[in-house]
Structure formats: structure tokens, C-alpha cells
Amino acid sequence: MDMNRNLFSAIQLEKTAMFVILTLIVFVAAFAIISHLILMVAEKRREIGVLRALGASARSIMLIFIAEGVLIGGVGTLVGTALGVTLGTIQQTYQIVKIPGDVYQLSALPMRVSPRDLVLFGVSALVVSFLATIYPSRQAARLDPVEVLRYE
């Protein structure tokens, strides 16, 4: 164990670095969802005004935009998870990424896909994507139909 202390330290450091990188990726995706939904609210002002004038509640307008944001986040999470598991399995099976064996006593990068980590990141990504929808959906729900339709 002491002989491989450097290797275990390097692997733990890599795992911590990957956590930070994946967290940043999730937050960048959340800002992309926010931007997309804000633009969607701006583009659909007239339609939102018509729906509100026809009796749609603020809550139903809000739910439309929440559903769209969660759908985007869910599809992104599923595609990202599937791609990550596939690449991890390929690395584990075929050992494509090589490391210098004289330095680490291993010739290939060991890869293990942890179901716990998959669930943790998947749920976290979905929660962040849901939270990212709140501001734009509230913005859409607060539109006054009279003001929106006045200038149309």
C-alpha cells in the first residue's frame, strides 16, 4: 500500500478534479438553459399574452416553461450519462488511454463507473436544470396580457 501511495494520491486528486470540472459543466449548462428560456419568453410574449387573455393562469404559463427547461436538462443528462458510461466502458475494456508504466506501475488508466456517482451527478444535474427554469418561468408568468397585446 505504501509503495503505491503516490498512485492512490494521484487517482484521488484526479477524482476531485473531475468532480470540480463536472460541476462547472453542469452550471454552464444551467446558464445555457436560463438564456434559452429568457429568449423564448421574449420571443413568445405575444403568445403568452394571448394565452393569458384566454384565461390561462400564471401557474400554467410557468409550468410550460418549467417543463421545457426540465426536458432540456433531462435529455442533456441522459445523453451525457450514456456517453460517459459508454466511453468509460470502452476505456475499461480496450484500455485506449495509456499512462507511462515506469512511473505509475500501470500501463493504462483504470476506469470504474460507480453507480452512486452516476445517480449523484444525474440527480444534481436535474435539480440544477429545474432551478435554472424558475427565473425565466416566473418572468413569463408575470407578463400582463393587456400590456403585451396593446402594441400588437
pLDDT of the residue at 106: 75
Q: What is the pLDDT of residue 6?
A: 80
CB atoms < 10 A from the CB of 62, how many? 19
What is the per-residue pLDDT for 12?
87
Helices (H), 2-114: 5-43, 45-53, 58-94, 101-104
- The Cα–Cα gap between 32 and 69 comes to 10
Instruction: Return the ∠ at Cα 30 (arms to 26 and 33), rounded to 5°.
Output: 140
Mean pLDDT, consecutive 10-residue stretches, the chain (152 aa), reads 75 88 92 97 96 96 97 96 93 87 76 88 94 97 92 75
Check residue 103 and give its pLDDT: 73
Number of C-beta neighbours around residue 3 at 10 A: 7
Nearest to 48, CA basis, from 134, 135, 148: 148
Q: Is 108 helix (H, G, I), strand (E, B) or coil?
A: strand
Give the per-residue pLDDT at 29: 93
Residue with cell 453542469: 26
